[in-house]
Amino acid sequence: MGESTDQDDGMNTCRLFPLSGVVLFPHIVLPLHIFEPRYRQMTEHALAGDRRIALVQHATGVLQSGSLGVPAIEPVACLGEIIKYERLPDGRFNMLLLGEERIELVEELPQSALYRRALYQVIDEIEPEEFHSPWRTRLVEKFREVVGDRGPMDPELDRLIDSSVSLSILTDILAHALSLDGALKQVFLAQPDAERRAAGLIEVLEQTESRRSRPFPPPFSCN
């Protein structure tokens, strides 16, 4: 139950961590607390192998195993690597999971452990041909405009926006940073085209209400 296994058709297996309302994006570091026995086992197996876990949202009627009563999950997940962890005396874990890549869950496998597994294939990112895409300029301007109305921007986020990261990375960082619900974040995770993600984020920013009680954007961690 250690490392992901290469298949003859080019697909791999991954450990599934279904978590409602939580979306992991590539390049983002997500803190997690692991306490259920099945996910403690999942973490033990991951640490003994390739240290990778696929974080996926629950869904209705999208992808199900053959077992009755097993909640359906979204077909697109994010494969992450455990980059730091703390094993607690009672068997629980605290960990940092770094998002690596979008994956499509092709088929859920028969359950041979307490947790679920699936066959997956990597979703290729679609980047604009030119670095200075007009969508990049519009997205950065709109984000700064909206955030500027709500106080100083997180210094790390400010630095990243002005850096030379690709549009794909930039859109993932901003989709994570915005206070969006899980369903909308899932839409952005499932979209492989960076320019379409940028267009969607601009639309969200334009529709953002002026009143917001919580910090905007919330604290975040990225790689």
pLDDT band for 60, please (50, 70, 90 cuts). Answer: low
Q: Is the pLDDT of residue 80 over 70?
A: yes
The C-alpha atoms of residue 132 and residue 204 are separated, in whole angstroms, by 21
Residue whose tokens read 């901003």? 174
CA angle 114, 116, 119 (to 5 degrees): 145
When pLDDT is cut at 50, 70 and 90, the band that residue 205 belongs to is very high
Provide the pLDDT for residue 64. 53
pLDDT, tens only, 100-147: 999 999 999 998 999 999 999 999 999 998 878 899 999 999 998 887
CA 185 → CA 50, 110, 220, 223, distances in Å? 27, 29, 15, 19
> What percent of the chain has a predicted confidence (pLDDT) above 90?
66
Average pLDDT, the chain: 86
Whether the CB-CB separation of 28 and 222 falls below 8 Å is answered with yes
Sketch the domain layout of the chain as residue ranges: 12-122, 134-207
Hey, what CATH class is 12-122 in? mainly beta
Residue 95 has a pLDDT of 98
Name the token pair of 70: 């097993």
Per-residue confidence (pLDDT) for residue 146, from 0 to 100: 86
Alpha-carbon dihedral angle through residues 80, 85, 88, 93, given to the nearest 10 degrees: -10
Per-residue model confidence (pLDDT) at position 70: 79
Backbone angles phi, psi at 125, to 5 degrees: -75, 145
| Position 69 confidence tier, pLDDT thresholds 50, 70, 90 | low
From CA 118, how far away is CA 56, in angstroms rounded?
A: 11
